[in-house]
Structure 1
Amino acid sequence: MKGSAPHATTPACMRLAGELRELRARTGLSLAVLAERTPYSKSSWDRYLNGKQLAPRQAVEALCALATEPPGRLMALWDLADLEWSGRARSAAPSVIAKETARPRNHRPGNRAATADRAEQRPRKRTTVGRRGAVIAAACAVAVGVAAAVWAAVLPDAGAGDPVRQAALSAPPSPGCRARGCAGKDPGLMGCGNPTQVRALGAPRRTSTGAWTEIRYNPACDAAWARVWHTHIGDALEVSAPGGKPQRAEVADKYDAEGYLFTPMIDGSDLTGLRVCFEPGGGGGPECFRR
């Protein structure tokens, strides 16, 4: 278990927590469902997403898998966050300097022993300074090298000159279902939520509570679903089409309320009569609209 709080505001740690929140929003999974599908508890996920505790590497890999996100970029960011969180990135050079600059206590003016000792120490002192400089330089080189390598992997435009890497990053994953086979399944888990393939069916609709709803469709999966944002705990969203089972999602916690919440998918081969209904958790009737 990683420590908490002291280094949570360092840049890489903050960015990693933000990236994890975005991945969780993409999956549309509540903390309770994340706890069911991973070895980590609901309270652990709460700390990881809030940046109160550095998520274990395996937790980041698990969330990437759930969000169908290639793990390379997040793993590189985790490496840098781990250096920041543990303090290893800044502790090496000061400790070396403190150790190497310690001086004997008998160096007092007018003391013959001290004078002789200084004479004997001069060549050693120069050697020590040289060694100290070499150690510090090596430590700095390692830190700079690690940071440069990690940020090169993390930044979006890194490796722009590598056509093979760019092709791998830009190629969308193959969907895991199609049409009727997608009904009731999670768009993120099935590879249907890829933003390069998804399009909105019509303009977003604003509800009386201030929440916004939108219909999403992926032609590669031939499936549709709805999403909602600016919600409150207890709100619910349902999408349906004639001849198919309605699919529903409920705002279960603050993370659902802070990000996008997605319904499971419906068969998108015939979207005639598709309907979306928003139900406010604070009471009141459902607000429905058709495509």
Structure 2
Amino acid sequence: RRRARGRLLLALASAYTVIVGGAAALLFLLLPDSEAREDEPPTASVPFSLAPQCQGAACEGRDPMRLICGIGPDTLASHRTATGAHVELRHSTKCGASWVRTWGTEIGDRVDVTAGGPTHDVRIRNEEDAAAFVYTEMTEVGPGSTVRACFRPAAPDGERECFEARVDGPATTTEPPSSPAASSPRA
């Protein structure tokens, strides 16, 4: 019995030491630094930034999602292709860049974007691409620029479908020529 009591007291003393030591460490970490200057404002540490990571020419040929240009972009124009794919011209004023987003595609389909400079394209490579949103790289644009997107279907007999939109212009939606509510895909 004595031995059992001794073990119990030892266990309780150990637990008490851990609890008191943990509380002291916590208080030490939470108490303000006594040497901190009162006239300096506290600085906040943010693990990441939601601000775009590029602007204008620095965005050229780069990924809009990785550089946070894809948060809250404008849709300049939407187009539904003859194959049923959706293609959108997207634009970020904060980044000064545009790109194309597409979905409902088939393996082998391609889309590209240009604004008078380099053309950036993306090809639907596999079933995962076909089942998701796929983006081209960005192209630099300024206010009033015309941005052009083209869809090239994988089918050898499919025709290229292009449409344009102006930055700061009205958003447009187009359908393929064969649909009853068609409007010309060329602006």
* Cα offset, 1:211, TM superposition: 0.3
Residues 256 and 270 of structure 1: CA distance in aligned 2, closer, same or farther (over 3 Å): same
Q: Does 1:174 align with 2:51?
A: yes
Measured on the aligned residues, the alpha-carbon RMSD in Å equals: 1.9
* Cα offset, 1:286, TM superposition: 1.0
Partner of 1:214: 88
Partner of 1:94: none
* Cα offset, 1:179, TM superposition: 0.9
Structure index of larger Rg: 2
Q: Does 1:189 align with 2:71?
A: no
Structure 2: unaligned runs, 5 residues or longer:
1-45, 166-187
CA contact (8 A) 2:98 2:147 kept: no
Task: Count the aligned residue pairs.
Answer: 119
How far apart, CA to CA, are the structure 1 residues paired with 2:151 and 2:145? 19
CA deviations on 1:242-264 (whole Å, 9 max, x unpaired) are: 1x100101100111100111000
Partner of 2:76: 201
Structure with more contact order per residue of length (Cα contacts < 8 Å, sep ≥ 6): 2
Structure 1: unaligned runs, 5 residues or longer:
1-167
How far apart, CA to CA, are the structure 2 residues paired with 1:274 and 1:289? 9
CA deviations on 1:74-115 (whole Å, 9 max, x unpaired) are: xxxxxxxxxxxxxxxxxxxxxxxxxxxxxxxxxxxxxxxxxx
How far apart, CA to CA, are the structure 2 residues paired with 1:228 and 1:271? 23
Given the two structures, how large is their TM-score scaled by the length of structure 2?
Answer: 0.59
Runs of 4 or more consecutive aligned structure 1 residues displaced over 3 Å after TM superposition: none
Aligned-partner residue type, residue 199 of structure 1: D
How far apart, CA to CA, are the structure 2 residues paired with 1:187 and 1:200? 14
Mapping 1:223-238, distance limit 5 Å: 223-238=97-112
Identity of aligned residues (%): 34
CA deviations on 1:102-137 (whole Å, 9 max, x unpaired) are: xxxxxxxxxxxxxxxxxxxxxxxxxxxxxxxxxxxx
Aligned-partner residue type, residue 231 of structure 1: T
Aligned-partner residue type, residue 98 of structure 2: A
